[in-house]
Structure 1
Amino acid sequence: ADWSLEDVEEVFELRGLLESRAARRAAKRISYSQIERLKTHHAAIGDAIYAETPDTQQFVEHNHLFHSVILEASASAELTSMLARIIERPMVHRTARNYSFDDLKRSHRQHGELLAAFEQRDPAWAEAVMVSHIRRAFHAYANAHIDQRIPDVSHAAE
């Protein structure tokens, strides 16, 4: 079924709420081995982005695994179940395929910021970064599918 931009935004908003809650919970519960797994996936994402030709498939795979470790660390079966119902892999693939190189780099930096928040055991920081991360993903998706950005009015008076 075709989704409107409003439908897509609602899914991203729900994902932002749930994943930010998972990040908040994970910050206090994450184990050393889970942090090491996040570092491994973060490095693999970097390798995929900075390859001679960025490898979107590897980016998507390790991005999924990175987020899965956070969900696992949140230790919430309910959050896991709810997220599984709303996250559509095809939408994730479409979003990543439409990422610019700058979008890929920004996503990688945000994953690094999440890692730092987890290493500091800071729930508020982890939650805030995840909200921003998911919101940015929505805008990357929206900008690639429907041009609803604010028009440049700097030259309107000319």
Structure 2
Amino acid sequence: MANTARIAPASVVQTATTKVHEVIKQRILDGHYQAHEYIREANIARELDVSRTPVREALRELVSEGWLEMIPHHGSRVTAWTEKDAREVFELRLVLEPMAVRMASERMTRECLTKLEAMASHMEQLTEMADTTPSIRNEIASINHEFHRELIHASGNQRLGAVLESVVRTSVIRRNFSHYDLASLRRSMRHHREILEAIKVGSPLWAEQIMSAHLLAAKSLNGRFSDSAES
């Protein structure tokens, strides 16, 4: 009984931390919090009806993940997505992610391919509603991140997956497709479908090349619409 009493508070704090973490991250994605806006610990604790301890922990996690930056004597603020950030991230992705897709093509299971095809179909359906329901773009972004994550995981290379996980999370989730017009969204969805077709017919090189084209197209759009002109 005594051990349970000691463990429970930590468990409660962790649950609250997870809640705060997800709320703040989603608000960044939704544009509720803008680049360079400060996230005040006391305000979040009051608004979400939690103590300041889980808020403090959530802010630390978000800083470590790159969503926030710590400014000495001022607090945590939303990081800006600059042209330099976009260039560096996509330089890494253009080298590593096509490699991961090539490896995934050689190791893909039927179960994983079926899951990827379902995600691709769902994104295609949502894309056709993107102009009439702008909030749909956030849902597309979330599924898109999962799609890329599954492809990378299917490579079977844990170290490659670990490196790409943080890089892809930053560039895929950070951008919520708000700057994509319908033609660009449809092109992105066609790339997903063609990657899966290449995997189905057993052509790793084809899959690798389409992923490169997919990333180059995304790089062009992200570079044009960074949060600021800082370099």
Equivalents in 2 of 1:91, 1:116: separation in Å?
22
Contact 2:142 2:173 in 1 (8 A): no
Report what 1:58 is aligned to. 139
Aligned residue for 1:145, secondary structure, equals coil
| Structure 2 runs not aligned, ≥5 long | 1-78
2:162 partner letter: S
Report what 2:223 is aligned to. 142
Give the 4+ runs in structure 1 shifted more than 4 A. Answer: 1-4
Report what 2:94 is aligned to. 16
Q: How far is the alpha carbon of 1:84 from its aligned partner?
A: 2.1
Report what 2:161 is aligned to. 80
Choose between structure 1 and 2: higher strand proportion: 2
Report what 1:28 is aligned to. 106
Q: Does 1:102 align with 2:180?
A: no
Contact 2:96 2:160 in 1 (8 A): yes
Report what 2:152 is aligned to. 71
Q: How far is the alpha carbon of 1:78 from its aligned partner?
A: 0.8
Larger deviation, residues 103-112 vs 65-74: 65-74
Q: Does 1:124 align with 2:205?
A: yes
**TM-score for both structures, normalised by structure 2:** 0.58
Relative contact order: is structure 1 or structure 2 higher (C-alpha 8 Å, sep ≥ 6)? Answer: 1
Identity %: 29
2:206 partner letter: W
Equivalents in 1 of 2:105, 2:197: separation in Å?
10
Q: How far is the alpha carbon of 1:65 from its aligned partner?
A: 1.5
Contact 2:145 2:168 in 1 (8 A): no
Q: CA RMSD in A?
A: 2.1
1:79-103 CA distance string (max 9 Å, x none): 1111123234476332522111111
Equivalents in 2 of 1:4, 1:105: separation in Å?
25
2:93 partner letter: R
1:36-81 CA distance string (max 9 Å, x none): 0011000110111012425111211111111122112100101111
1:5-33 CA distance string (max 9 Å, x none): 23321211101211101100011100111
Larger deviation, residues 137-146 vs 75-84: 137-146
Contact 1:28 1:121 in 2 (8 A): yes
Larger deviation, residues 9-18 vs 86-95: 86-95
1:105-124 CA distance string (max 9 Å, x none): 01000001101111012111
| Structure 1 residues 33 and 74: CA distance shift in structure 2, 3 A | same
1:34 partner letter: C
Who wins on radius of gyration, i.e. which is larger?
A: 2
| Structure 1 residues 93 and 103: CA distance shift in structure 2, 3 A | farther
Contact 2:116 2:150 in 1 (8 A): yes
Q: How many residues of Structure 1 are paired with residues of Structure 2 in the alignment?
A: 147
Equivalents in 1 of 2:150, 2:88: separation in Å?
24
